[in-house]
């Protein structure tokens, strides 16, 4: 479906993508992860023909991107992170406009709009002005627009940014359902639990390079051998940061979660004692397992990436 060979992109002297090689098969949901500035958006923009690249070869649907961009775009769609909608048009007018500029007419127009409305659960909102919709409803419309050309390949750039959990769940279910239709999805997000929930494969980018690519389950399985995840009852960010200074193997995932890489019994005992001394209540300890956030933090060179 997607084949990228030795892709290089640089802006003046700054290398944004450094000899990227990546293959994505049909029907795969690939999570594209990376800290800010890793090159995720650049890669997705290149794949959509929005920006040029200097070296390398890209084939999508077996077609060379540089020569067959128009044909490739007709079979794919891109949903940007920002809400690329018209606030002064109704939901239906937005859908009809974006279908119209893609020359979708007649029966196909009705069919594709119905499909997008159904996938985005937009039925009750069709006559509402987009400007008055909630953040979650706008996100659903943003995604629905990307379905109007019935694409085989869909790119989503942070499609759930800034919305409530209910809308997020609904959007994730929708995207997951594309797999049943045989569609391929490239999904970039900072929310690791989302990636874990819907993606089959993960590619982690750091400083313009793909540092890990593979099946999500296999990657988590490889990591699980000697790590411990501790979840706390309440947020204790300051104390956890202090703990990382004392124990190098401790990594803070968020204010209530930490991981410990390969501790022996003495080290683990010392860390648990330190938590007890700080009167921090432990909710759960998981041995021999990890999650994507822990893996991501361990792999990427920046500890302060946006997660």
| Minimum distance, C-beta of residue 171 to other proteins, in the bound complex (Å) | 18
**Cα–Cα distance, 8 to 54 (Å, whole number):** 6
Q: Does 288 bind other proteins (CB under 8 A)?
A: no
CA–CA gap between residue 83 and residue 160 (Å, rounded): 11
- In which residue are the tokens 């795969």 written? 28
User: In the Cβ-directed half-sphere of 191, how many Cα atoms lie within 13 Å?
Assistant: 16
- Residue closer to other proteins (CB basis): 86 or 191: 86
Nearer to other proteins, 50 or 270 (CB): 50
Under the binding rule (CB under 8 A), the answer on residue 122 touching other proteins is: no
Among residues 3, 74, 150, 302, the one that binds other proteins under rule CB under 8 A: 74
Size of the site for other proteins (CB under 8 A): 34
Residue nearer to other proteins on the CB measure, 95 or 228: 95
- The region of 96-104, 159-167, 188-196, 249-257 touching other proteins under the rule CB under 8 A is 96-104
What is the C-alpha to C-alpha distance for residues 199 and 195, in angstroms, rounded to an integer?
Answer: 5
Which pair of tokens denotes residue 261? 């890489």
The pair phi, psi for residue 39, each rounded to 5°, is 120, 10
**HSE value, Cβ hemisphere, 13 Å, CA-based, for 232:** 21
The 171-200 site mask, x for binding other proteins (CB under 8 A), equals ------------------------------
Helix (H, G, I), strand (E, B) or coil at 192: helix
For other proteins, give the closer residue by CB, 84 or 238.
84
Applying the rule CB under 8 A, the residues between 40 and 59 that interact with other proteins are 41-42, 45, 48-52
Query: Which phi-psi region, left, alpha or beta, contains residue 231 (left: φ > 0; alpha: ψ -120 to 50)?
Result: beta
61 lies in the site for other proteins, by CB under 8 A: no
Q: Would the CA dihedral through 38, 44, 50, 52 be positive or negative?
A: positive
Side-chain-facing half-sphere of 176: CA atoms under 13 Å:
13
Dihedral class, residue 56 (left if φ above 0, else alpha if ψ from -120 to 50, else beta) = left
Q: Is the separation of the CB atoms in 172 and 194 below 8 Å?
A: yes
Q: Which of 13, 101, 127, 279 binds other proteins (CB under 8 A)?
A: 101
Using the rule CB under 8 A, is 14 a contact of other proteins?
Answer: no
Site for other proteins contains 8 (CB under 8 A): no
Q: Does 170 bind other proteins (CB under 8 A)?
A: no
17 binds other proteins (CB under 8 A): no
Residue 74 CB, nearest approach to other proteins (Å) = 7
- Give yes or no for residue 107 binding other proteins (CB under 8 A): no
Question: Is residue 82 close enough to count as binding other proteins by CB under 8 A?
Answer: yes
Least separation, in Å, of the C-beta of 17 and other proteins? Answer: 13
* Contact between 132 and other proteins per CB under 8 A: no
**DSSP symbol at 129:** B
- Distance of CA 37 to CAs 41, 242, 276, Å? 8, 28, 39
Nearer to other proteins, 52 or 127 (CB): 52
> Residue 149 or residue 290: which is nearer to other proteins going by CB?
149
Select from 187, 191, 209 the least CA-distant residue to 17: 209
User: Are the beta carbons of 262 and 212 closer than 8 angstroms?
Assistant: no
Q: Is 78 in the site for other proteins (CB under 8 A)?
A: yes
Q: Using CB under 8 A, list all residues that contact other proteins.
A: 11, 41-42, 45, 48-52, 70, 73-74, 77-78, 80-86, 88-89, 93, 96-103, 145, 149
């Amino acid at each position: 479906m997607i084949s990228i060979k030795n892709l290089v992109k640089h802006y003046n002297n700054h290398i944004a993508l450094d000899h990227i090689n990546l293959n994505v098969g049909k029907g795969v949901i690939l999570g594209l992860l990376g800290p800010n500035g890793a090159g995720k958006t650049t890669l997705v923009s290149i794949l959509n023909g929005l920006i040029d690249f200097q070296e390398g070869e890209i084939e999508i649907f077996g077609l060379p991107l540089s020569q067959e961009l128009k044909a490739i775009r007709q079979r794919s769609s891109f949903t940007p992170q920002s809400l690329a909608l018209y606030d002064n048009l109704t939901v239906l007018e937005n859908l009809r406009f974006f279908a119209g500029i893609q020359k979708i007419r007649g029966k196909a127009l009705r069919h594709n709009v119905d499909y997008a409305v159904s996938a985005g659960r937009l039925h009750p909102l069709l006559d509402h002005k987009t400007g008055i919709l909630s953040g979650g409803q706008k996100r659903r419309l943003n995604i629905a627009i990307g379905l109007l050309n019935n694409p085989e390949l869909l790119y989503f750039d942070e499609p759930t940014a800034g919305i409530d959990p209910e809308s997020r769940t609904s959007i994730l279910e929708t995207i997951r359902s594309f797999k049943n239709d045989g569609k391929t999805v490239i999904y970039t997000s900072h929310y690791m639990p989302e990636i874990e929930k819907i993606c089959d494969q993960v590619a982690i980018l750091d400083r313009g390079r793909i540092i890990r690519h593979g099946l999500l389950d296999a990657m988590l399985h490889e990591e699980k051998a000697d790590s411990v995840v501790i979840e706390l009852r309440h947020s204790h960010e300051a104390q956890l940061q202090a703990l990382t200074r004392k124990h190098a193997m401790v990594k803070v995932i968020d204010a209530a979660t930490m991981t410990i890489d390969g501790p022996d019994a003495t080290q683990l005992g010392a860390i648990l004692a330190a938590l007890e001394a700080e009167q921090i209540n432990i909710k759960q300890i998981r041995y021999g397992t990890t999650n994507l956030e822990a893996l991501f933090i361990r792999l990427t060179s920046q500890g302060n990436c946006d997660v």
